[in-house]
Amino acid sequence: MNIGKDVVKEIKQNKVPHMNIPIRSTSNIVYDEKNLCYILGNREFSRSAGNIRHIKKMTQLVKVADFSKQLVKEGTRHVTKRELYYISESWGEKLKFDEQPESDEIVEDIEAMISEPREAINIIPNPKGSIYGDIAMRFKNPKGKMMTVNCLDTADGQQIGPRMTEAEFAKTSANIIIAIETTGMYNRLIEENAHEKFNALLINLGGQASRSTRRIIKRLNEELKLPVYIFCDADPFGLHIATVIISGSAKSAHVNKHLCTPRAQWIGVTATDIIEYKLRSDKLRDLDIKRIKELQVDPRYEKDKRLQQELKVWLKIGRKAEQQAILRYGFEFVVDKYLPAKLKELKAPGIR
């Protein structure tokens, strides 16, 4: 997609320039059996310079595209969406954005048009998440110099930022990836040497995984063939964190295929675990129950017998729990007993 060239071509042909942009509403989201995630359908809308209401947005889109091209060409700078909004102040009254939702929408339009996440054009999310374990990664530092970092050489794991996301995986001894919802449990697994016991890379999601974190999980799975296991709270929204990693989200339908890891597996904590381990729990909210019922009819999970059974158990017991509830059995229990049993159930390599 050559956004600027297409506009210039129409102008040279004495035509009124226009742009066709994929529609990003739920009405244009379809389930892709090949990529096992929701993607955008074929419907588009048109912005035309012949419509006075479209001119400003068209011009802003071309300006953002050109600005991003310069970022990529330079190769060392990245901006957040928030920074982009403020940078537009320098573009003058006719081009600057009045509110950030306006610039956010333009960025998402460009993503949909080029079928690539905004990270590919150096517009990044705020850094979030970290990775700990034996993996050496090569990347360019902010000065453009190549460097190699082993994620075992940092006290709390290597932060997953824009340069790490696209790093070259130089060497690893790991067999699996364990992605952990909460920072507290991530720290617990580091201190209990889970990376050594399971020969694993530990990834801190910090709640809902950022796009950068989802991207690096996907790359590790596809490029290094490392199985991914997701360890979350025992509630429908913990499960939602796992399903976003596995099959994407409706909001990111235009870039899901670049971010989701369909072969990743959900460890739990499950609804059954609440009963089996007698975990401290709280009553499900109406919002939790609504989410469970949505997941029961979601086409991505209709054939997942294990997940469907857990959803039924949740509705039956009406309770939820945090993953830290497992610590009632002591610091070592999660690494010595709980995770080995779960990883064995899911047939993780090297677990007996």
The type of residue at 244 is V
Q: Coil, helix or strand for 5? A: helix
Q: Is the dihedral of CA 314, 231, 123, 32 positive or negative?
A: negative
**What values do phi and psi take at 145, rounded to 5?**
-90, 135
For position 202, what pLDDT does the model report? 97
For position 99, what pLDDT does the model report? 93
| Mean pLDDT confidence for 118-144 | 87
Going from the C-alpha of 330 to that of each of 192, 324, 325, the distances in angstroms are: 11, 10, 10
Among 1.10.10.10, 3.40.1350.10, 3.40.50.1980, 3.40.50.150, name the CATH number for the domain at 3-124.
Answer: 1.10.10.10
For position 256, what pLDDT does the model report? 85
**90 has a pLDDT exceeding 70:** yes
In this structure, are residues 250 and 26 in contact, taking their beta carbons and an 8 Å threshold? yes
C-alpha to C-alpha distance for 41 and 319, rounded to whole angstroms: 38
| Mean pLDDT confidence for 78-99 | 91
Query: What helix, strand, coil percent values describe the chain, rounded to 5?
Result: 45, 20, 35
| Mean pLDDT confidence for 233-246 | 92
In this structure, are residues 201 and 131 in contact, taking their beta carbons and an 8 Å threshold? yes
| Mean pLDDT confidence for 244-260 | 85
Which range, of 29-38, 115-124, 237-246, 340-349, averages the lowest pLDDT?
A: 29-38
Q: Coil, helix or strand for 149? A: strand
C-alpha to C-alpha distance for 314 and 325, rounded to whole angstroms: 16
Given the residues 86, 132, 186, 338, the one annotated as active site:
86
Q: How is residue 197 written in tokens?
A: 């016991």
**Residue carrying the six token digits 């060239």:** 5
**What values do phi and psi take at 267, rounded to 5?**
-75, -45
List pLDDT tens digits, range 302-326: 888 999 999 999 999 999 999 999 9
Q: Does 132 participate in catalysis according to the annotation?
A: no
- Paired with 29 in beta bridges are 40
Among 3.40.1360.10, 3.40.50.720, 3.40.50.10310, 3.90.230.10, name the CATH number for the domain at 130-345.
Answer: 3.40.1360.10
For position 317, what pLDDT does the model report? 95
**27 has a pLDDT exceeding 90:** no
For position 1, what pLDDT does the model report? 57
| Mean pLDDT confidence for 226-246 | 93
List pLDDT tens digits, range 2-21: 777 888 888 888 888 888 88
Domain boundaries, the chain: 3-124, 130-345
Residues of the chain with pLDDT > 90, as a percent, come to: 54
